[in-house]
Structure 1
Amino acid sequence: MISFDVTGRDVTRAWIAACNALDRKDNPSRTALHTVVRITDPTTDDVDFRAELDRLRIGKGHEPIETVAGTLFPAGLARRITDHDELVTRYRAMYPRLRRYPGNAHGTYFGRLVAYPGVKKAEIDQVGNIINRLRKQASSTGPMTAAYEADVAHTADGEPPAELLVHAADRDNLYRGFPCLSHCSFQLDRDGRVHVAALYRSHYMFERAYGNYLGLGRLLSYIADRADLAVGTLTVMAGHSHLDGPINALRPLLSDTPPLAA
């Protein structure tokens, strides 16, 4: 079994490291199981590199990286709104229209995070719950650093854990497609930084991974800012990773060192 554990200082460098870990002579399928990608600063990437990767992606019929990132966090909308409750209200109002777009029939990741299907058809704002709990813990004399993980908890079961659930067991039964992201788990360290770990059942590096890293970093930044905390690291774990796409066209990008990683 091929696996890997890589670390990059920014989104671009981490993505390149993960792709190179998959593109090995002893791995002709360019796949791996139980992979780990750590990003030290998930709020930063090389925009020139992203533009070149986008050129290849769009040429193969994929949507821009910004579109992928937007399914995890609507950065443009959030910049125009200062109040979190208003962001949730406006996104929920847009959600039916967003779900009419190709690929969104089962929802978007951010939709699941701010309108998670709860009991009695109630919609749960998990992001707001996370922000409030992190802020409360950070202001206490002995903040909990890892009391946010609850693997079997449902968001309606008592006090909400610092875990964003995406997968809904009663409706998500597709073998492929949405949602590949199962949940995000947040940790608060003693230095006042928020870290996040995201678990994917499957990750396609060319089609989705770069945009997912970017969106997760923006989501982490938003939550940390609203909780008056600093941004920590992003760790992405995938049960199955695959370097898809035009490999011969990608290899020149994977051999270059972006300016941010120099």
Structure 2
Amino acid sequence: MFLERISRPRCVEAWLAASQAVEANAGHEAHNVLIDVEDPVTESDADREAIELVDGFLTENTETGFPVRTVANTIFPQSLYEDHGAPAFYDIYLKKVFPRLKRSPQDWGRYFERMIAYPVVDDVDNLLERLILKMKRNVDGGRPFRNIYELPIYNPVKDAEGRPRGGQCLSYLSFKLDGEQRLLLTAVYRNHFYTEKLLGNLIGLGRLMQYVAERVGVAVGSLSILSTHAQVDKGKSTTPRGEVHRLHSECAALLADELEDA
């Protein structure tokens, strides 16, 4: 059975609606879940409060305890970009930040690292910068090429022989320009943990979109995610499933209060 497509205005609302829908499904999992976020870069006060609740849950109930911002940074290191700008932050990330993050020689990497140092024969390639420059050339030149901006994350040579668990979950990014020259993004995940990762993923992808849009000179449009397998994880095996329900209920109450005050 397929879940209905989930469309919400902002990232936190989309995370909550998708999590509740998958949680209610058999086994707390689903396949081919489609999520749309109309405005993936705006956060309300209630959104920020909900993110704090999620951070508290992750700190108490997961082995890593990584907060939402840490997950978002695996896709786009916002603070590094704000501090150093482009293109300088690419080299700083690869030479100073990434070596501290890589846990072992067998570590598959990070999403942003794959974007800017994608492994090719005897070298690496900054696929993200290539995509930005191509898109900007076409926009500046008035060319109507809107559907030619693809960015792979999964490497079929390197990843096919990797460990069956703990590898990359984000597989592919497809950027588009609509008829009003707004940047759209569709992200494909092979496997998706909605409690520990989805909210940070949505925020990180929104920040990536904002970066690309600023460099190209276009507006940010909608974000879509296809989770080919989704699961509402509860963190540690000892965490009661009721704690996930409580998190969802508390976040829903914050968002409802915001609507009533509007």
Q: Flag whether TM exceeds 0.5 (same fold).
A: yes
C-alpha displacement at 1:236, in angstroms? 0.5
Structure 1 CA distance, aligned partners of 2:152 and 2:225?
A: 15
Q: Secondary structure at the match of 2:36?
A: strand
Equivalent-residue separation in structure 2 for 1:140 and 1:80 (angstroms): 31
Give the alignment partner of residue 251 of structure 1, picking from 248, 253, 258.
248
Please give the secondary structure, in 2, of the residue aligned with 1:107: coil
Mapped to 2, the partners of 1:20 and 1:257 lie a distance apart of 15
What is the aligned counterpart of 2:150 among 125, 147, 163?
163
Alpha-carbon distance in structure 2 between the residues aligned to 1:69 and 1:133: 25
CA contact (8 A) 1:9 1:261 kept: no
Q: Contact between 1:15 and 1:209, CA under 8 Å: does it hold in 2?
A: yes
User: Which residue, 89, 113, 116 being the options, matches 2:115?
Assistant: 113
Deviation of 1:165 (Å): 1.2
Matched, 1:127 2:132: no
Alignment of 1:68-87 (within 5 A): 68-82=71-85, 84-87=86-89
| Alpha-carbon contact 2:53-2:247 (below 8 Å) kept | no
Q: Is the 8 A contact 2:172 2:188 kept in 1?
A: yes
Q: What is the one-letter code of the residue matched to 1:127?
A: L
Q: CA deviation at 1:142?
A: 3.4
Which of 2, 8, 32 is 2:30 aligned to? 32
AA paired with 2:102?
R
CA contact (8 A) 2:50 2:251 kept: no
The alpha-carbon deviation at position 110 of structure 1 amounts to 0.3
Whether the aligned pair in 1 keeps the contact of 2:188 and 2:226 (CA below 8 Å) is yes
Q: Provide closer, same or farther for how the CA distance between residues 249 and 218 of structure 1 changes in structure 2, counting only shifts above 3 A.
A: same
Report the alpha carbon displacement of residue 134 of structure 1 after superposing the two structures with TM. 1.1
The aligned counterpart of 1:152 is none
Instruction: Normalising by structure 1, report the TM-score.
Output: 0.87
Q: Structure 1: how far apart are the matches of 2:170 and 2:139?
A: 27
Kindly provide the CA deviation profile for residues 162-218 of structure 1, in whole angstroms up to 9, marking residues without a partner as x: 111111111213333221000101001221211110000011110110001110100
**How big is the shift at 1:251?**
3.5
Hey, what's the Cα distance between the residues in 2 that align with 1:2 and 1:192? 32
* Contact 1:20–1:254 (CA under 8 A) maintained in structure 2: no
Q: Alpha-carbon deviation of 1:257?
A: 5.2
Identity percentage over the alignment? Answer: 29
Task: Measure the CA separation in 1 of the matches of 2:256 and 2:140.
Answer: 38
User: For the Cα contact (< 8 Å) 2:10–2:42, is it kept in 1?
Assistant: yes
Deviation at 1:108, TM superposition (A): 0.5
Report Cα offsets for 1:49-101 as digits up to 9, x if no partner: 1011111111113211111101111011000122x221111111122222138
Query: Paired residue for 1:145?
Result: 146
Distance 2:195 2:60 in 1: 12
Call closer, same or farther: CA 1:243–1:4 in 2, change over 3 Å: farther
Indicate the larger mover: 135-144 or 222-231: 135-144
Structure 1 unaligned segments of length 5 or more: list them.
149-161
